Structures are given as C-alpha cells and as structure tokens.
Structure 1
Amino acid sequence: MRVLPAETPPAASPSNDAPTGSPPLAQQKPASTPEPKPRVRNALPALPTAPLPILNKRELLAINVGPQSMDRLIAGGFRTSESLDLSHLGFRMDRIEAPPGWDAARARAWLKRELPNDRFEFNRTYRQYLPNVGGDGDLGPSDHPSPPTAGSCGSDRCYGAAAINWRPALASCARGVRIGVIDTAFDTALFTGRENVSYATAAAAGHQKAASWHGNGVLTLLAGTSQSDASGLIPDAKYFVADTFVADQDGSPVSDTASVLKALDLMMAFDVQIINMSLSGPRDPTVEKVISKLSERGVIFVAAAGNGGPTAPPAYPAAYAPVIAVTAVNKYLNGYPYANRGNYIDVAAPGVRIWTALAKDKQDYVSGTSFAAPYVTAIVATLAGQGLTGKEALLARLETKDLGPAGRDQIYGRGLLMAPASCAPARTPVASKGEAWRVIRTSTTP
C-alpha cells in the first residue's frame, strides 16, 4: 500500500484506528417507506433534504481569478484560506472567506457586482449516503461482529457475486485497470503490503478526519483483504483512493466542492480509467462541468444513487448525465426501500446485507447504494480492454435483467447489471510519461 503525496500538503495522515461503536449517522427517519415495510430494529435515516451544516458558511471558491482581482477582494475584507493549482484539471482555485458578518450569498452578490468578469462559486456541501450497517437493519455494527475467517464466503453472506453471474475468472480481465475511489480514508492495516492500493488526501485541512469504516467496506468489495472472508471482485486492479471527508461538529462525515475537485485532480494525476464515488450533494455546476469534460476524455464514472428514500430529490453526482447511477437490491432482487428513485437511475446491483470488512478484525453486513456501486465498477472494469468509452456505449454492451415494471423504470433503471460471460484482456497503457502528461494536462476549466 502506497501513500501518495498530495498536490498540496495533506490535511492529516490517514487514520489507522478502527472505528469504535456505531458509525456516526443522523437519527432521522425517511419521509416515507414503500410497502411491504422491511423488518428492522431501528429506522434507517434518510438523506436529509433540509440545508446541512457546511464546513464554513462564509466560504466561496474563486475560479481562475487573477492577481489584480484577488488584491481587490482582499482590500474589500475577504481572506484567502487556501490556493490550489489543479493542474491536471487545468485551472486554479482559491478558497476565500467573506468579511466578518457576511454569509456566502451576500459575499457572492458583492463580488459579482464589484468583479463582474470573474467567477466565484459556492463551496457546496457533500455527505455520505448514510448507509445501513449491521444485522437486519441495525443502525450500528452488530454487537458481536464476526472476526476474519479462513476460506471463501458462503452464499448467504456473499450472495452478490452469484446474483450478477460473476465468475472469479473475470477478475483477470481487470488486471492493471486504474480505478479511482473517492470516499473516506481507509484503515491501512486492512491493506498492508498491497502495492496496488495507493492513497492521498483531498479533505479540507484543519478538521478532524472522518471515520474510515465506509471506505474500508467499499474498498474491500473491490480489492479484497486478508482481513475479510469476502473476496474482492477485482483484486489485481490498481486502486487510487482519495479521501474527501472530514468529521463535522456532530462527528458525521462531510465534504465540500473544493475537496471533490481536489480528488478529481488527483484522479487525473494518476490517469485513472474508472472512478467509483459514494457521496451526495446538490447540483454543483463546477463539479458537473468537470465530470462532463473528463467523461468526454473517456473516464467512466460510477456513483451510488442515494439512500434518501423514494421521495428524495435526485442525488449528485449520480444524477449527472455522464455518470452511471447505481441503486441497490437484496438477494431476492427486491429494491432497497430506502434507495432514491428517479429517471436518473441507470442500473441495479446487490447492495442489501452485503458482508464486508469495516475495520481490522471487524466484519459486518452493510446496506445501501454505496455498496452496490462496487459491483458495477467491477463489471465495467472487465471491459476496459475493449476500448469502449462513455456510459451509453458501456451499458449497451452489457446485459441487464429486467426488474419491476417492464422496461426501464425509476426504481431499477434498466435492471440488474449482469457480469459478461467473457471479456478481452485489459489493455495496459503504453504511453510514455510525457504522453500521459500531455493527456491529463488538457484544460477542463469549468
């Protein structure tokens, strides 16, 4: 496992501490629950639809703002808290704080009036998808989580691979494929000695780091670990993990636009082919334009559709057009009752009672669309050697099993995404460093 240097000094070193107690989850109930109601001991919290606390309510992002304009805003009482050259995305970004007593909306209105030719954006809030962890719907880990055991995981615990017709031989098709994971940090003790797992932080500086159990669970499903009897789907891919989350005042994971952009810049620095994302926020024009331009270059995005319930608004980045939005089903191929619904849902994958590692010496069941996304990422990775680019081209190449109402629907999208019967060997990039640099230096100024 390699820890990669960030483009700027990291906020903190990755945490090796196992999470203790229940993962921090807001104690809120979903607005509505579809029938039949699942048997749960505690109600699963919905993705809040009200405004959430942000890292800094007075903060804005200055995009490619020149020195004269920066001098003008500083003279107006603004303060620069961070300057970033996102060279692999092709633009510069400055975090700026509004004068005392001003909120971000008032500050942006003033800047638009005083500096109309410059661009200033809100630093929007992103949250994790509030997954369900533990047996039978508990909000926290089981009272007696299972320790690692030798051998393969049984069909009751690890039904996901069988549900999508995954065969171990398919893993070889993804050997060397470069996969980015934008999530929390992970417990390095789970992946000791893994030279194909690299890490860098994109999280905001000066904040407590978020718990790592979510990133542990997602990365285990993809890469596998000796600490879990749940086999990773594609253990020989190359993984580049960007931690984007810190803990808010309640201990819950929170991120922002600036951190997501830093993570995307890191992804491009390592020339990833597929990016797996498990975060939720409002529509964000800056992030949307970057994702669209990276998609045009051939980067494939896979994102969890959200756990806000059937009446929740679309969750982003999953709802952006180039992104494959993944919902969750259980072992009987019934929809996850707390999953978002909408026309943006593309495909379904196993994501209810998924067995994975949450920390060193701790495994448990997890539920949520975040844990369905890795199955889709693995399937997409098997086709990386066939030169297919773009969401529609990939989905047209893959088989789906229709679920629910006939045809595409707002619950399951096109249906359960199935693993291919065979695949071409993954193509190893042959460009020299100079050639790769020219590719990733192409401007994506949003």
Structure 2
Amino acid sequence: MKISKALDTFFLYCVVIIILITAYFAEKVSSENRVDSTVEDEISLTGARLSDELYGSVRKTGEWRRFGSTSSQFEFVIKNLGSEAITNWRLYLEVPEDTTIDSSWNIELSKDSRNNLLLFTPQNANITIKPGDNLEFGAVVRSKKTIDPSVLHIIGYKAAGRNNIIKNLILFMILVWLVAFVGYLVTRFNLRNYRERQKNDVRIILQSMNTFISFIDAKDPYTRGHSRRVAMYAAEIAKRMELSEDEVQNIYYGGLLHDAGKISIPDAVLNKPGKLTDEERKTIQSHTVAGGKMLKQLSSIKGIREIALYHHERYDGKGYPEGLKGDKIPIYARIVGVADSYDAMSSNRVYRRHLNKDEIIEEIQQGSGTQFDPDIVKYMVDMINDGYVNVVKMETAENEDGTNDIHIHEEDLPGVYMGF
C-alpha cells in the first residue's frame, strides 16, 4: 500500500512535468506562428531606406554569355530591422520578359502569372525572418537583356510577439515543480531513515516493557498475559473511537504497563486467596501511585504515567487514588480502566472463577455512568458481542505445555503503530 502511494505520487509528478513542458512548447510554436498584421512593402537593393523595418542588398558575383544570352549570378541579403518577425512571405523581382532560371540556393524561384516577375518562395513555406536576423539566398538567371535588380516587393505577415507573461509563468511553474520534486525526493529519503529509527526505538521500548511485564507477571502468576490483553482491548476501543494513530499507540503502551506498580506489592498480599484486610486493600491500591512514580520519567510516551496512576478511578468519583470524577479522569485512563475491568471479570482469579459473557455484559452496563465512562462502555460491549475479545484470548492463550509467551513482539503491534 505504501509503495503504491509512493508510485502514485511519483507518477503524478511525471504527469505534471509532461503537461508543463508540453504547454511551454505549445506556447512557443503558437507564438511563433501567430500573426497580427500583413506586410506588403518595397525593399530597396541599392542602399536606399524605403522601409524602416526591412533592408536589402544584392551583389552580382558572376556573369557569362552563352548563345546570345547573359547568365548572371546574384546574392541577396534581406535584413529585418523591425521588432516583429516576418513569416509566410513571398518576394517579387521585376525582370525582363525572356528571363529564365538556371539555379538557386536557400530559396525557390518561379515565374509568376504575369511572366514579368520572378516569385521567390522559401524552401519551407514557414521560414521566419526574426527581428535582427538576415535572410541570405542566391540565384543564377539568364536573359538577352541586362538584369539589374534594384527593388524587391515583399508580401507576408508579421508574427505576433510572444506572450512573455504566459511563457514566464510556465517557466516559473516548472521551477516550482523542480523545487517540489527535489523536496519530495529528500522527504522520501528522510522519511525512510526516520521510519528505520522509529523501528529501532520500538524495539528498545518493547524490550523495556517486556522486562516490566516479566516482573509483574512473576509477582502475580494468576494474571499472566493480563497486561497484553488489556493493551489489545484498550487499543481496539481507541481505534473504534476513531482516535489518532499516535493516541492508539500510546494507549496500547499504557495498557502494557498499567499495572507496573504491582512490583512494589508484597507477594503475600498480592496473592492472598482469602479476604483482604483494610490495610492490605490499601496496600494493593497503592500500586497505582507506585506505578505513576515508576513511569514518571517515561515522558516520551504521552499519557503512560496517567494510565498507571488513574486506571482505577471511577466515573462517579469514588475511585482511587485521587477520587477524580467524570472528564477529570484522563481519557486514556478511562479506556484502560474499562479494558482492565473486563479482563478481570473474564479471567480466573485466586479468589473466584471468571464470569460468563452475559454476566460480564450485565456488570459493565450496570457500571455505566458510575464506575465507567458510558461513552466507552458501548465500545467494550460491542467488542464482546462481535467476538473481538475471543480473538484476543486465543492469541494470548497458554501453549499445550502450559506455558504462555507473554513477551510483546513487533508483529503484535496493531498495523497502525509506527508505520508497520
């Protein structure tokens, strides 16, 4: 999918530059062939200035007599002194009636219908005499009379000047494209390196979390896999609530370490099968404060400390450790609190067996608005009804030998996390 998006973007850049280049050359051809007026003028070949825009000269470079006729070789130069190009032009030269054409170069010659003019036509009907340019051509003609060219008659068109605004705009857009394309390539390169660094960071984070989880589960063997399940439930709730990918990721990590404070609880209290005394209950409840202190320095993962500290707060304000109420409880902690309670109800504990599906749904719905945020409860109930919780339990189930791989691996992370 990501490769496809990259290719789509690359092809889009290619299409844009093709369009811009095509537009540039289309404007170039169009401007060169656009006419705005006709030209019909006399061009003196004797040095006289009959026109302010066109100037001509002629040299006789050869002459020889044969069979009573004289062949003369002429070389002509036409100069465009104006500010506009002359295109699709024709030149006429008055000559004796018996004149014939022997040869020519850089131009084509023919007699016109009156038989008393030579019609000079370019080899390419669209030859343009640009401003400041010279047109050079020559011919050998034969006549019994003396040929002395003095004036050329020109008929053609003035090419409209190029629209420099459009041309410059296209060139500017090409420059913008170039800057954007180079920026795109640099961004792709940097993003690739950034993702590699992210993956390395994830590996370090997971290694640290696996160490914590191993300590926690070693303290409370009856809840092996509990942290992983809570993290998966909480992340799924966050996704269904349409939180951002970063928030889903943070909630997942927070779910993994929400019970980190249990490391500080004595084994005799944590695993006591009978009823707890008030003092023992306060000791167990202190795991939230202990967890908050442990994770205080883990500031790179937003909200992870608040999850450990407040996941046992109640929506009605009767929870611990601070008795926060309603929206005063951080949203991450409210989500993990629901996920944590569900896993506690659906798991066997040292003091009771797990509840069945209907009992759990009833308990959760009864706690909606008192123990739990009602906006979160509905997502948890949906996950129970649609079977998502069963998939999580299967993935975290014990192996045939009774062991359970509680360690979190990169492939365990939901697809939205860290670009995986």
Range into which the TM-score falls when normalised by the shorter chain: under 0.3
Whose RCO is larger (CA < 8 A, sep 6+)?
1
Q: Determine which structure has more spread, i.e. the larger CA radius of gyration.
A: 2
TM-score, scaled to structure 2: 0.24
TM-score, scaled to structure 1: 0.23
- Which of the pair is proportionally richer in helix? 2
